[in-house]
Structure 1
Amino acid sequence: MHSSLAMRSPFFAASNIRLSGQNSMTTIIAGTFDNLPKAQRAVQDLHVHGCRDDDIHVFHNNAPGQHGAFPIGGDEMANPKAKGATREALKGAAAGAGVGGLAGALAGALGAAVGASTGAWVGALVGALKGLGSEKHDDPDERRPAGVVVAVQVPSGTPEAEVERILKQDGASTVEKAEGEWGSGEWQDFDPVAAPQPVDQEPPEILYRIAPGGRGQWNVFEGGAGKLLSDFPGRDEAINYATALASAKPKAVVEIYRAGGELESSRAFSAPQGPTRRRRH
């Protein structure tokens, strides 16, 4: 749940506004501030740099888990930090039952049953405590934090980088970029539980590997796991194919291997500049 803090509609739930036919998809840059004065200063600076009132939406975003998305409240089925507890409890129960049963077997059949039951209970308890928060989960930094959000529909003629700079210099704890629906001066399809995409987040690097295959073919694989994309009768054809794929990615690397798995050369790409470095072995 989020509430608008804009002067035109104070504390109005922007998520309830849906003016079909009047909204448009656009690039939105948004910063989250820990207090209202910082957000207001950012709005003033944005005005100075050409942003109008209708280009800026200011609202409060609640903390994760407090958005009221479910009828009974909240927005998460479970605490992400407790995801590892169930799995570790089951593992602990199995191990505890085995140890307890072995010890009880020395005292006869009845002792084995009691020992297994007690061992399972103790093992489950220890396992749950061990697993609490042990499983990888969404880090709080990867979930949109609570605070005052200043969302900007970047106006024509204003560089996105300038909007990002203003939000950062005025104290935004996070600055994100999204493609969203904008209408009546507000971010209409804002999703408070969606993971934000930080503007300075490095794009993932895609790996393409070229290696000789059977019957004189040359194979092109994607990723370290070796997903086969295609094969070609000639080496140059395989290289051209992989190079074309890599050139279309924000960051990519093409590696060429000799028979036997020896790396011959690799080439890194960064769109739109193209190749940025080359090294040979």
Structure 2
Amino acid sequence: MSNIIAGYLQTQDQVKRAIESLVVEGDFAPDQISSFFVNPAGQHDSYGLGGDRDKSPGAKQSGEGLAAGMATGGAVGAAIGMAGVVVAGPLAPAMGALLGAHVGGLVGSMRSMKERGEEETGPDGADNTEPQRASGMLVAVAASGPERQAQAMDLLARVGATRIEKADGTIRAGDWTDFDPLTPPQLAGRPAPASA
């Protein structure tokens, strides 16, 4: 495993210029450079039926919430239905219970989809959602040491790369073999060059 610096580019021409710049100006080995398109979130086809995950990360307790909501909604609906027996007849409690269970199930499962106690925002008011990897053309290069990493970041930035990130991984024969599109990106700050 090595340190990898990667940046997003808009066009194929930028990708070509980035690779040329990394090889010519940066003296990076061509087989240590990888370029590929990152699909939008949810479209990585990790599963046979499509998608990225077998379960939605926010829906861990939705089954429990569904059951609780159905029980509560069914009881409330049956009670309301009892009041409607005079108007709707003897089926009113059953219909009220069914409608109440349906609405209660929807509300209960939605309320429990997030982790219990998880806030919408952090203590500083910032959004508490997990960052997702952007979609687009990605050029990545294996760069060991702070000076080589800074050089790779500068070269990528010069050709227009945005969202430059740092990762650990393996680039072998031009292929980032252990790239995981579901791993949240670690946006790179510019490392300070080593003092002489």
Q: TM-score, normalised by structure 2?
A: 0.65
> How far is 1:63 from its partner?
2.2
Displacement of 1:91 in angstroms is 5.4
2:110 is aligned to: 131
| Structure 1: distance between partners of 2:28 and 2:184 | 26
Partner of 2:173: 184
Partner of 1:117: 98
Deviation at 1:119, TM superposition (A): 1.3
Distance in 2 (alpha carbons) for counterparts of 1:42 and 1:94? 60
Q: 2:11 aligns with which of 35, 58, 72?
A: 35
Alignment correspondent of 2:59: 83
Q: Deviations over 1:7-65 (max 9, x none)?
A: xxxxxxxxxxxxxxxxxx21111112233223223223323133232332112222222
Amino acid at match of 1:27: N
| 2:32 pairs with 1:62 | no
**Structure-2 change in CA distance of 1:124 and 1:56 (3 Å):** same
Which runs of 5 or more residues in structure 2 are unaligned? 115-119, 121-127, 190-196
Give the 5 Å matches for 1:1-281.
25-46=1-22, 47-78=24-55, 83=59, 86=62, 89-90=66-67, 92-106=69-83, 111-125=92-106, 127=107, 131=110, 135=114, 142-154=131-143, 158-200=147-189
CA deviation after TM superposition for structure 1 residue 107, in Å? 5.7
**What value does the CA root-mean-square deviation take over the aligned residues?**
3.8
Count of residues in Structure 1 that have an aligned counterpart in Structure 2 = 172
Q: Tell me by how many angstroms 1:155 deviates.
A: 5.7
Letter in 2 for 1:28: I
* Greater relative CO (CA pairs within 8 A, separation 6+): 2
Within 1, Cα distance between the matches of 2:156 and 2:187? 12
Tell whether the 8 Å contact from 2:166 to 2:187 is kept in structure 1 after alignment.
Answer: yes
Q: Deviations over 1:144-186 (max 9, x none)?
A: 2221111101167943123223333433332222221232243
In the superposition, relative to structure 1, how do residues 173 and 83 fare at CA in structure 2: closer, same or farther (>3 Å)? farther
Within 1, Cα distance between the matches of 2:11 and 2:59? 32
* Counterpart for residue 5 of structure 1: none
State TM-score, norm by structure 1. Answer: 0.49
Take 1:94 and 1:170, find their aligned partners in 2: how far apart are those partners? 60
State the SS of the aligned residue for 2:166.
Answer: strand
SS at 2:59's partner residue?
A: helix
Q: Is contact 2:2–2:144 with CA below 8 Å preserved after alignment?
A: no
Percent identity over paired residues:
32
Q: Alpha carbons of 1:53 and 1:198: their partners in 2 closer, same or farther (altered >3 Å)?
A: same
Unaligned runs of 5+ in 1: 1-24, 201-281
